[in-house]
């Protein structure tokens, strides 16, 4: 019985050693070069996304003059003129005012619900792609560190196979593997900076849109017809 258990233990140990050797061979074949190319590709995507977001925010700039004209028209009770003043405007503020004008005949309660829905939909447009920048900024250093570990594994494997005892090639391999960590940091820092700038911009324009929505609600509540007094209340007043 003991011999059987010993044989099974030896077999399990050999199987474990075989899996470990296969994993080592896989890591050695992979190397760290592909991690470097991956980081470079991700950096290109981050730059392209940052440029796209910049152009988008420039196109969606707040049309201050058009909004002032629209608010003035709403204050005067001319909703058609207010809608005309926002023709061709694409900003979140213009979307908020148009929503309030469109649903004003349905009552203030309906306007409030549609206003919240519009702000959330516009926030999604403004935040598109920011999750990628945030994820890249948080994880690019770890991707670079993974490439460094792969390079160090290969360097120590070369050291074990080096019969001359010279460590120059090993040192060169370690130095090359550390490049991936540097590239990972170089990719992460701009990605985080762009993400933070875009996130602050989104919060600023969203807060402005919410304030604009409250202003519109104030104007619409002023224009909303008041409910007539009941006859009982009128008699009590006469008494």
pLDDT 10s digits, 61-99 = 888 888 889 889 888 888 888 888 888 888 899 999 999
pLDDT 10s digits, 136-150 = 999 999 999 888 888
The residues, any chain, with a CB within 8 Å of residue 2's CB and separated by 6 or more, are: none
pLDDT 10s digits, 25-74 = 665 666 677 888 899 999 999 999 999 999 999 988 888 888 889 889 88
Domain ranges for the chain, please list them. Answer: 30-221
Class of residue 236 by CB neighbours under 10 A (exposed 0-12, middle 13-18, buried 19+) = exposed
In the chain, the percentage of residues whose pLDDT exceeds 90 is 39
Distance CA 157, CA 169 (A): 11
How confident is the model over 11-32, as a mean pLDDT? 60
Whole-number Cα distances in Å, 231 to 16, 149, 224 = 92, 85, 22
Does this model's pTM top 0.85? My answer is no
């Amino acid at each position: 019985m003991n011999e059987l258990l010993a044989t099974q233990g030896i077999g399990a140990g050999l199987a474990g050693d075989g899996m470990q050797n296969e994993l080592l061979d896989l890591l050695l074949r992979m190397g760290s070069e592909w991690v470097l190319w991956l980081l470079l590709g991700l950096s290109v995507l981050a730059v392209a996304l940052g440029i796209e977001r910049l152009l988008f925010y420039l196109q969606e700039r707040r049309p201050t003059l058009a909004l002032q004209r629209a608010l003035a028209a709403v204050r005067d009770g001319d909703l058609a003129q207010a809608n005309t003043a926002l023709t061709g405007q694409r900003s979140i503020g213009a979307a908020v005012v148009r929503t309030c004008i469109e649903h004003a005949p349905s009552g203030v309660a309906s306007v409030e619900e549609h206003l919240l829905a519009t702000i959330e939909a516009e926030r999604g447009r403004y935040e598109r792609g920011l999750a990628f920048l945030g994820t890249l900024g948080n994880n690019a250093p770890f991707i670079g560190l993974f490439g460094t570990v792969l390079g160090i594994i290969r360097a120590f494997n070369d050291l074990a196979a080096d019969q001359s005892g010279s460590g120059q090639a090993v040192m060169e391999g370690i130095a090359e593997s550390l490049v991936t960590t540097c590239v990972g940091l170089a990719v992460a820092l701009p990605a985080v900076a762009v993400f933070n700038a875009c996130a602050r911009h989104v919060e600023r324009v969203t807060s402005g849109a919410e304030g604009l929505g409250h202003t519109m609600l104030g104007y619409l509540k002023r224009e909303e017809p008041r409910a007539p007094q009941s006859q009982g209340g009128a008699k009590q007043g006469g008494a």
